[in-house]
Structure 1
């Protein structure tokens, strides 16, 4: 059982992230854009929901995300804290322009990847490498009506510096679970980056924010970097009561789960909906399967085409939103014994 392995590392950052968000909210209090308040999301991914024989692959992830309110620009808007404005001046090439609305996100997270057999300390050559990734993400969203563009830059580390072994073993010790004995075979330390760009379109353009309704959101894009390089496309369908004015409820999407700019804010009272999402990827590189870029390391023969299907439910009340999803993924490398299944839970609160 892997429940909650990302909590110890994430908890160390909670105070800092909340303080930064509170400072931004205070600076933005007099802005005309304050009617679209900032938000904070906490997401946990875990193979606990996969059932028997699913203690493998992408085994756990945890991420904190700070979402800005709608912004007039990325470098001078008082809704952003000073550090964010300074960072954005160095990333101006990533900023979209010429759109009706825009916002920024910042996130910090960790992901863990393990083979199936936790009892072996030797190198398991026919299963995926042990790997951990520790990443910081800067994201920029720009919206015009039913169209959205999102660009994200992720930078961080893969290898022992990402502290996957320490986090997993510490939590397993607390829970009394068996420890994975093969972390000495994990990928070597390597700085990594991934530049992601996606474009989205929603039908109908105006969602039913009162009463029952449905919508569909398409996406296409890709990523470039030594962490991952791929092209992808897919879509999401939602049905429910008072649909949110955003671009999807899947927390795995770059602009999903309460991170895109909104025009109408959240509905009053209770609202909820079901969602079904899909994504297909042509994968050129995945460091967690291909191994280190500049050093010899464990690797497997990845499959070039991978698909995901996910489904879940989102519930909103006042400032709070909860989303629970389950994902089924096709096999990612030759000889993989089981198709991956994992769950994701997100808690979101506007400030």
Structure 2
């Protein structure tokens, strides 16, 4: 009995000593994240008020919060409504140059699901929309120009045909901490690599990019990509205060794009480049439940008769978390 009692005491002491080590070795259970309502806008007003080509893109996005997960990944559903708008260089002409960008509008709704961990995010989305008159792009642009007392575009009667279109979108983002750690209240840098694909009867494209962020108390999210080359999900930064700048590079392979070549065969004659590059700089601030980022982008030519070697536009994203 004495030997058994001594052995039991020894075993109990060893178990007590090992328990903290075993507990520490268990992976942390990912905490729940907040949902977000976001307003995003790209506009060439921020590129020198050029009012041509990719002239405006507005999106309202809703991302639902993610519950705590039993494993590495958490999941969020997200939804959006958006409108894209494209115009040629000469807005006063009733019949645009057949080699110039056609008038085009795209009104869409979408929904998708994102799975994400501390350093990896995967998202898939289905987008359904309308082109042509039903996109309401003509009405939106003319009303906007009326309010600003600007030149009214005259060639919307030549816009691409109205169609019901669908797109399947997917992306992956991976975050690499380079200096410091995200959300630690100190200065740091990280790099977010991403890949994107979107295919449907509106456009087909593949994109690859990377975003370098540097600043104070970096968020635990996955940065921000161009709206046309990303899904609609908005990630919780998981910090209450943050300020940082970012530099983004992106390469696109475009296989078809009806907003650009939709009138080819109907008198238009546009040669679309299959490859394009884009560089973006911006800043982002997080304060309590609010996040605001602003950026300036410079994109290489999308088609051969474009009037400059690059096209500039800018935009913002404002999110309220709940």
Q: Does 1:51 align with 2:48?
A: yes
Equivalence map 1:40-189=2 (5 Å): 40-51=37-48, 54-71=50-67, 100-189=73-162
Question: Aligned in 2, Cα 1:210/1:299: closer, same or farther, shift over 3 Å?
Answer: farther
Equivalence map 1:273-288=2 (5 Å): 273-288=244-259
Q: Does 1:306 align with 2:276?
A: yes
CA distance in 1, matches of 2:165, 2:231: 21
Rg (Cα) greater in structure: 2
Question: Aligned in 2, Cα 1:292/1:224: closer, same or farther, shift over 3 Å?
Answer: farther
Deviation at 1:208, TM superposition (A): 4.5
- In terms of fraction of residues, the more strand-rich structure is 2
Deviation at 1:250, TM superposition (A): 3.7
* Maintained 8 Å contact 1:208/1:214: no
The answer for the alignment partner of 2:190 in structure 1 is: 215
* Maintained 8 Å contact 2:213/2:244: yes
CA distance in 2, matches of 1:247, 1:255: 12
Runs ≥4 in structure 1, deviation > 4 angstroms?
Answer: 32-35
**Structure 2: gaps (5+ residues):** 1-28
Question: What SS class does the counterpart of residue 170 from structure 2 fall into?
Answer: strand
Question: Aligned in 2, Cα 1:251/1:321: closer, same or farther, shift over 3 Å?
Answer: farther
1:272-312: CA deviations, max 9, x gaps?
A: 1001112111110111112169x847451100001111110
Deviation at 1:49, TM superposition (A): 1.3
Question: Aligned in 2, Cα 1:45/1:310: closer, same or farther, shift over 3 Å?
Answer: same
Structure 2 length normalisation: TM-score? 0.83
2:261 to 290, 295, 302: 290
CA distance in 2, matches of 1:212, 1:110: 37
Structure 1 length normalisation: TM-score? 0.77
CA distance in 2, matches of 1:63, 1:242: 28
* Maintained 8 Å contact 2:170/2:196: yes
CA distance in 2, matches of 1:317, 1:335: 44
Q: Does 1:331 align with 2:301?
A: yes
Question: Aligned in 2, Cα 1:288/1:99: closer, same or farther, shift over 3 Å?
Answer: farther
The answer for the alignment partner of 1:15 in structure 2 is: none
* Maintained 8 Å contact 1:289/1:299: no
**Structure 1: gaps (5+ residues):** 1-31, 74-97
1:197-255: CA deviations, max 9, x gaps?
A: 11111102952531101100111231111111012111101001111101113453525
User: Which has the higher mean CA deviation after the structures are superposed, 204-213 or 326-335?
Assistant: 204-213
